Amino acid sequence: MNPSCCPAPADGLPATTPRAARHAQWWLAGYATAVVAVTSVHDPRVLAGLLGLALAASGSTRWRVLRRALLAVLAFNLSVSLGYLGVSLWQGAFRPAYLVLVNLRVLLLVFLGFWFVSRVNVLQALSFSPTLSFVATLAVGQVTVFLRVLRDFRLAFVSRNPGRPRWSDRARNASAQATHLLDKSVASAAEASLAMRSRGCFDD
């Protein structure tokens, strides 16, 4: 499974060059180090400072990345924060510093993750392992196929039902969609694996 024999990543993903792969792997190493460092900091002022630094360093994409990070953590952090608020007030042990600490830490970690992904091609970052890179390329390709099929089915269903569709129609559509999704995706991955076989991917 030499990565050089594998087909180019699906739809819009750039092919891996050694220099780009090295660059991505340095970013991956830096990101991993930063993540461990952030989880070792328990002072909210330091975490706020680090978040400010990360925002300053992330350039023109900072607000877009911050918005994504806020949306990603909102539901979970709200649920944990409200749960903590309720339980700790009930037990008479409420410590507001904890809420600041945990919310800042989670936001910073997710921001770092999204910043990393916005700067680096994940497939290139994983190319240090031929096996991981191989499976990741196939899976990302399949995700693209899934998204396209889902969109096609949704549009077709809307065009066939100008009025409000009945539940039985919805169920039939969902069932047909699920079967087609798996068939289509197996066929598409079969094409990819045939291409790999022709390049010697399955040969020793």
Partner 1 sequence: MHIPDGFLSPQTFLPAYAVAGVAWLWAARSLRRQLDDQTVPKLAALTALAYGLGLIMLPIPGGTSGHLLGVAMLALLFGVRLAFLSYSLVLLLQSLLFGAGGVTALPINALAMGLAGAAMAVLVFRALRRLGEPLAVVAAAWCSVMLSGLIVGLVLGLQPLIAQRPDGTPLFFPFGFAVVLPAVLVPHALIGVGEAALTLLVWRFARGRGWVAAEGQAERSVRCA
Task: Provide the binding-site residues for partner 1, judged by CB under 8 A.
Answer: 1, 31-32, 35-36, 39-40, 42, 68-69, 72-73, 75-76, 78-80, 82-84, 87-88, 93, 95, 97-98, 101-102, 105-106, 108-110, 113-114, 116-117, 122, 131-132, 135-136, 138-143, 145-146, 178-179, 181-183, 185-190, 192-194, 196-197, 202
Judged by beta carbon, residue 25 or residue 185, the one nearer partner 1 is 185
How far apart (Å, rounded) are the C-alpha atoms in residues 67 and 162? 36
Q: Nearest approach, Cβ of 127 to partner 1 (angstroms)?
A: 14
Please identify, using beta-carbon distances, which residue of 48 and 102 lies nearer to partner 1: 102
Q: How far is the CB of 43 from partner 1 (least distance, A)?
A: 11
Question: In the bound complex, what is the minimum distance in angstroms from residue 40's beta carbon to partner 1?
Answer: 6
Give the whole-angstrom CA distance, residue 50 versus residue 151.
Answer: 40
Residue 147 CA to residue 142 CA, distance in Å, equals 9
Q: How far is the CB of 16 from partner 1 (least distance, A)?
A: 17
Least distance from partner 1 to the Cβ atom of residue 121, Å? 11
Q: Tokens representing 68?
A: 């994504």
Kindly tell me which of 20 and 117 has the beta carbon lying closer to partner 1. Answer: 117
**Quick one: 111 exposed, middle or buried, by C-beta within 10 A (0-12, 13-18, 19+)?**
buried
Measured from the Cβ of residue 12, the count of other Cβ atoms closer than 10 Å reads 6
Nearer to partner 1, 59 or 83 (CB): 83
Task: Indicate the residue among 160 and 190 with the shorter CB distance to partner 1.
Answer: 190
Decide if 149 contacts 180 (C-beta within 8 A). Answer: yes
Dmax over Cα atoms in the chain, in whole Å?
68
Q: Read off the tokens for 12.
A: 């819009």
Whole-angstrom Cα distance, residue 121 to residue 14? Answer: 8
Q: Please report how close the Cβ of residue 25 comes to partner 1 at its closest, in angstroms.
A: 14
Q: Give whichever of 129 and 161 is closer to partner 1, judged by the CB atom.
A: 129
Q: Which amino acid is it at 91?
A: Q
